[in-house]
Amino acid sequence: MTLLRLIVREFVGLFVDDEKLALSILAVVGACWLLVHAIHGSAFSTGLLLVLGCVGVLIASVLQGARR
């Protein structure tokens, strides 16, 4: 049971290390999803939002990590 818990914890840890980074990525994807399904935005604007959002999240997370 402990081993199973360890494997599950390790698997979750693959994706979530810094909670803020993970939540920001999900927020970017969520915004893209809303753009497609609620506002019916173009595929180009969705792609642009996705790329710029991910780049922005990475830059903010690295600079914040450096300041900590």
Task: Determine, following the binding rule CB under 8 A, whether residue 14 of this chain makes contact with another protein.
Answer: yes
Q: Which of 1, 15, 19, 38 binds another protein (CB under 8 A)?
A: 15
Q: How far apart are the first and last CA of the chain?
A: 36
What's the token pair of residue 29?
């994807």
DSSP 31: H
Contact call for residues 22 and 16 (beta carbons, < 8 A): yes
Contacts to another protein from residues 32-61, by CB under 8 A: 32-33, 36, 43-44, 46-47, 50-51, 54-55, 57-59, 61
3-state DSSP call for residue 49?
helix
The binding site for another protein (CB under 8 A) comprises: 3, 6-7, 10-11, 14-18, 21-22, 25-26, 29, 32-33, 36, 43-44, 46-47, 50-51, 54-55, 57-59, 61-63, 65-66
